[in-house]
A = this chain, B = another copy of it.
Amino acid sequence: MAQKGDLLTFRPDIKVVDATVRDGGLVNDFYFSDDFVKNLYKANVKAGIDYMEFGYRADKEMFDEDKFGKWKFSSDDAIREIVGDNNTNLKLCIMADVGRCDYKEDIHEKSESPVDLIRIATYVNTMPMALDMIDDAYKKGYETTCNIMAISNAKESDIAAALEMLGKSPVDGIYIVDSYGSIFPEQIRRISEQYMEVGEKYNKFIGIHAHNNQQLAFANTIESCTQGVSYLDATMGGMGRGAGNCAMELLIGFLKNPKYKLYPVIKFVESNIVPLRNEGLEWGFDIPYMLTGHLNQHPRAAIAAMKEGRRDYSGFYKEIIDKD
* Chain A 184-212 interface 0/1 with B at a Cβ cutoff of 8 Å (1 = within): 11110000000000000000000000001
- A140 shortest CB reach to chain B, Å: 39
Query: Which of A79-87, A131-139, A161-169, A310-318 is found at the contact surface with chain B?
Result: A310-318
Which residue on B lies nearest to A237, using beta carbons?
Answer: B287
A266 touches B214 (CB 8 A): no
* Chain A 280-324 interface 0/1 with B at a Cβ cutoff of 8 Å (1 = within): 000001010011001000000000000000011110010000000
A290 touches B215 (CB 8 A): no
In the bound complex, residues from chain B placing their C-beta under 8 Å from that of A247 are 215
Q: Give the oligomeric copy count.
A: 2
Interface residues on A, range: 35 or more
In the bound complex, residues from chain B placing their C-beta under 8 Å from that of A263 are 314, 317
- From the candidates B223, B250, B266, B270, name the one contacting A185 in the complex (CB within 8 A): B223
A216 touches B218 (CB 8 A): yes
- From the candidates B218, B270, B274, B287, name the one contacting A249 in the complex (CB within 8 A): B287
- From the candidates B187, B219, B311, name the one contacting A216 in the complex (CB within 8 A): B219
In the complex, whether A10 has a CB less than 8 A from a CB of chain B is: no
In the bound complex, residues from chain B placing their C-beta under 8 Å from that of A99 are none
* Chain A 235-249 interface 0/1 with B at a Cβ cutoff of 8 Å (1 = within): 000000000000101
In the complex, whether A222 has a CB less than 8 A from a CB of chain B is: yes
| Given A215-B250, A266-B314, 8 further pairs, Cβ under 8 A | A7-B184, A185-B222, A214-B218, A216-B219, A218-B219, A267-B313, A270-B287, A270-B314
Which residue on B lies nearest to A291, using beta carbons?
Answer: B266
B3 touches A186 (CB 8 A): yes
* Chain A 120-154 interface 0/1 with B at a Cβ cutoff of 8 Å (1 = within): 00000000000000000000000000000000000
Contact (A226, B266) CB under 8 Å given A247-B215, A253-B294: no
In the complex, whether A63 has a CB less than 8 A from a CB of chain B is: no
- From the candidates B184, B249, B266, name the one contacting A254 in the complex (CB within 8 A): B184
In the bound complex, residues from chain B placing their C-beta under 8 Å from that of A314 are 263, 266-267, 270
A216 to B285 CA separation, bound complex (whole angstroms): 13
* Chain A 88-111 interface 0/1 with B at a Cβ cutoff of 8 Å (1 = within): 000000000000000000000000
In the bound complex, residues from chain B placing their C-beta under 8 Å from that of A290 are 249-250, 253
Contact (A219, B311) CB under 8 Å given A214-B250, A287-B266, A294-B253: no
A263 to B315 CA separation, bound complex (whole angstroms): 10
